[in-house]
Structure 1
Amino acid sequence: MKQFKIFVLLFTMLSVALSSCKEEILKPLYGSKGAPKPISNASVQNIAGGAIISYTLPDDANLLYVKAEYERQGKIVVSKSSFYKKSILVEGLGDTNPREVKLYAVGNGEEASTPIQVTINPLAPPIYDVMNSLGIRESFGGMNVKFNNHESTGERPYNIVIGVVVWDDRLGEWKDVDAYYTGLAEGSFSIRGLQAKEQKFGFFVKDTWNNKTDTLQKTLTPIYEEELKAPDDARKKFPIPQNKPLPIDGSPILEPGNLSSWAFGAMFDGVIGNNGFHSNERNPLPAWFPMDLKKVTRLSRYKIWQRQNPDGGYLYSHGNPHEWEIWGTNTPNDRESWVLLDHRIMVKPSGQPIGILSNDDVEVARQGHEYEFPLDAPPVRYIAWKQIDNWASIQGALGFLHLSEMKIWGQIQ
């Protein structure tokens, strides 16, 4: 009896194994109902890098969607549009050559109608407008690049890469320097850490479909700068002239009080995240946070990182700075000697309300917000951050500031 049970068990297992080896044949979800009638009355609106093709849908209950077949970079590709719409988008074309597009009505059983054919004459792809918009200038430690990407909208982003290369005389070829990815309609970015010597740089724009412009060549000489280093004991007690007079502009002068675990010097320890400097809360605004750079310096730029945590909390919110000024002097005991060096309002790339973050918002904050001092700013040793308001209390309902990290660059005199 025991042997019989074992035989039955083995037979059952073998049957299951054999049945699982049978080839599965995928069939249309709704079964074959035949091809629907074709679309009609197709008309073309040529656009940058493609076309919008409008048409009349067939009166056919079997219709599921419309598809367009066309050539892109030597391959046949397909665009689809549901039966709720009366147009289809052809996109990603890298030139203005005429193209034939075949349009099919497709039924529930994935069977296609006989095609109708239209000719499109795409306009130049948007990468060329972006390339023509580039504003490139020499800057401290590198260069700054401004761009316009007008085809990119919230409803239909046009994602691009702006590539930067440098010519290597020894190798006789271009070498990668940077690649800036964005879907913003306009913006700017800076490239830093380059040697202060004349070099030949190249710039190009590429899109999602790997369409690419020619390389624009420019000879540039980055301006020399170096990063100012905080003292080794900065986290314990960053040397600040707390008892020195600050500018007289009608605002209260406050000591940079801070929560004990968020010391002022933690803003200069090289650690970025949910840490750094946090002032006491509910101070009246504006509030002043002065510091001693230790050496007279022609300031070139500074970079700040918002307090942030892994899920993006705090970004463009809470005590992260929204509007501020930076003042400087070499004689801190003289109130009249302080001069305004910089005034900024932090811009949220997406423009979305507080609490809503786009990928660009998060990426810009992760990289840090960078600001340049005016080229004619005087060399100074002492600076003071004037906190005007933060993101959670624009116009100063709650008076506090927190920053994860701050870096400062310049030319030491």
Structure 2
Amino acid sequence: MKNTILILLLIFGLFACEDNDSYFDASIPQENVSFEAIPGGAIMRYTLPENTDIFAVRAEYEDYKGKKMIKIASYAYDSLVLDGFNEARNNVPVRVSLLNQSNEASKAMEFTFNTQDSGPVAFFNNIEVLPYWDGFQVKYKVPCAATGLCNVFFIGTNPMTKELDTLLLETFAIEAGENVKYYSLAQKRDMNTVVVKTEDFRGNVAMQKIYEGIASYNVEKLDPSNFEWLDPFSLSVENDNQGFMVGWKYLFDGDVKGSRKLAFQESWGNTLSPANMYSFVTLPYAVNKPDAPKYFILDIKEPKQVSSIRMYGMLNLNTMTKPSVFVTCYGTMLPNDVTIYASNDKDDNNSWVKVGNFYQSLTAAVPWIQRAGDVDNSTKIKTTSELEAVEPCYLTVNFSVDNPPYRYFKVEFNSVFKKIPNQYYENTTERVTLHEVEVYGK
């Protein structure tokens, strides 16, 4: 008898619990919910009814791997991003419910949504892997709101094993819009094999493609023996007297560091010997201005497909012992803004085409002139052996591989460093100097 009563009480208790279960009674009209496909997912937009008990909106669906995804947005918002997809999909099921402050859910409503290719997949919809100087370039265009990572590899010799391997060059975040990445390789080959692999920010590989037979435009320094630096405005200081040795011809003498000057000073047995800069310097006010154009023309004597032009500064020798034309701090006369145009007819003003530009802020933390003369006392060089052990300092103006061969290059110095921190002198007259110019080409 007692057992019978206990069973009856248990049954009544179960029914009582079922009767007391509470459900959140709220819903959204179907027409108040819409979906917009975006890269890697969709945006769910909604308009909530006038119900103060609604605290949040919840969407449940499965991502491209079949993993359950739950997205919740506060009642204060009107949209929710449903992500987790790579390749575009149609009619993805989603269950949408409303939550109150007690986290009680309303009856779920069922919808479907479409997605677009995610950034890591869309990356391959408009990509080109093309030849470049000593390597290759990757051009790509992806839609707005694209995200993800791209890994660029090439097939080369592993420095550890000395065998062919897939070597990582760079991992970068995919940016919406049109972009180009340039890769010049230390390992030079006539043809390269390039591997491009993309992944989402969760570390999932989205897609991988291999590009074979990408030609490399291998470059070398062009012989400067016949180069000429034309001076239409007569700005170059030409003085081959002892204590000077300045003029445009020293731009092509092969001395990229200041070796000739240091050797001359050492031959005198001290560093206070005559200056003999073996360098190029201009008269005052050689900087190009919109209302007063100034430029030089580099003539390489025959049309060549040029990849870049390097412009060197003399390194920081123990004492510069400058002649009067270098009376200001040497580094203040080096350019921070250079524009180069090209032509095959220097006398036709309409034939000049802009091919390259270099710009560095005057407030750059580490300017390209950091180790140039008189800039930083910690970089002083006292002996020839010290000079031989260090790298030169230079700026580089790079050119596109799409340029045709050109013979003439118009060089505009738009700005110089002029004033350097912790230095007394200032290049108020805007003289310009360079120590060496090198041209690289196909």
TM superposition score normalised by structure 2: 0.50
| Contact kept in structure 1, 2:302 and 2:407, CA below 8 Å | no
**Matching of residue 221 in structure 1 with residue 215 in structure 2:** yes
* Cα distance in 1 between the residues matched to 2:356 and 2:305: 23
Please, which of 339, 343, 346 is the counterpart of residue 354 of structure 2? 343
The structure-2 alpha-carbon separation of the partners of 1:336 and 1:280, relative to structure 1 and needing over 3 Å to count, comes to: closer
Q: For each residue in 1:335-360, what CA deviation from the matched residue of structure 2 results, as whole angstroms up to 9, or x when unmatched?
A: 75999674058799xxxxxxxxxxxx
Partner of residue 394, structure 1: none
Tell me the SS of whatever aligns to 2:69: strand
Contiguous gaps of at least 5 residues in structure 1: 1-32, 231-238, 247-252, 258-264, 270-277, 305-318, 349-367, 391-398
The structure-2 alpha-carbon separation of the partners of 1:386 and 1:280, relative to structure 1 and needing over 3 Å to count, comes to: closer
Deviates more, 1:128-137 or 1:42-51: 42-51
Q: For each residue in 1:109-144, what CA deviation from the matched residue of structure 2 results, as whole angstroms up to 9, or x when unmatched?
A: 555444333233434435444313112221211112
The structure-2 alpha-carbon separation of the partners of 1:65 and 1:401, relative to structure 1 and needing over 3 Å to count, comes to: farther
Partner of residue 51, structure 1: 42
Please, which of 35, 39, 62 is the counterpart of residue 28 of structure 2? 39
The structure-2 alpha-carbon separation of the partners of 1:114 and 1:325, relative to structure 1 and needing over 3 Å to count, comes to: same
Deviation at 1:84, TM superposition (A): 4.2
Tell me the SS of whatever aligns to 2:399: strand
Deviation at 1:255, TM superposition (A): 3.7
TM superposition score normalised by structure 1: 0.53
Partner of residue 376, structure 1: 404
Please, which of 168, 177, 187 is the counterpart of residue 179 of structure 2? 187
2:125 counterpart letter in structure 1:
N
Q: How does 1:161-310 map to 2 (within 5 A)?
A: 161-167=149-155, 174-193=166-185, 194-209=187-202, 210=204, 212-226=206-220, 241=229, 244-246=230-232, 253=233, 255=235, 284-288=291-295, 299-301=306-308
Q: Of the two, which has the highest radius of gyration? A: 2
* Cα distance in 2 between the residues matched to 1:106 and 1:229: 76
* Cα distance in 1 between the residues matched to 2:236 and 2:23: 77
| Contact kept in structure 2, 1:289 and 1:385, CA below 8 Å | yes
The structure-2 alpha-carbon separation of the partners of 1:99 and 1:39, relative to structure 1 and needing over 3 Å to count, comes to: same
| Contact kept in structure 2, 1:298 and 1:378, CA below 8 Å | yes
Tell me the SS of whatever aligns to 1:132: coil
Taking every aligned residue pair, what percent have the same amino acid on both sides? 15
The structure-2 alpha-carbon separation of the partners of 1:79 and 1:371, relative to structure 1 and needing over 3 Å to count, comes to: farther
Please, which of 48, 53, 74 is the counterpart of residue 62 of structure 1? 53
Tell me the SS of whatever aligns to 2:206: coil
Partner of residue 130, structure 2: 137
1:372 counterpart letter in structure 2:
S
What is the Cα-based RMSD across aligned positions, in Å? 5.3
Q: How does 1:25-36 map to 2 (within 5 A)?
A: none
Tell me the SS of whatever aligns to 1:159: coil
Q: For each residue in 1:374-409, what CA deviation from the matched residue of structure 2 results, as whole angstroms up to 9, or x when unmatched?
A: 5532467xx44136899xxxxxxxx9899xxx9976
| Contact kept in structure 1, 2:342 and 2:355, CA below 8 Å | no
* Cα distance in 2 between the residues matched to 1:44 and 1:290: 60
Please, which of 79, 92, 114 is the counterpart of residue 87 of structure 1? 79
| Contact kept in structure 1, 2:296 and 2:411, CA below 8 Å | yes
1:224 counterpart letter in structure 2:
N
The structure-2 alpha-carbon separation of the partners of 1:345 and 1:167, relative to structure 1 and needing over 3 Å to count, comes to: closer
Partner of residue 106, structure 1: 99
The structure-2 alpha-carbon separation of the partners of 1:56 and 1:181, relative to structure 1 and needing over 3 Å to count, comes to: closer
For these two proteins, the number of residue pairs brought into alignment is 295
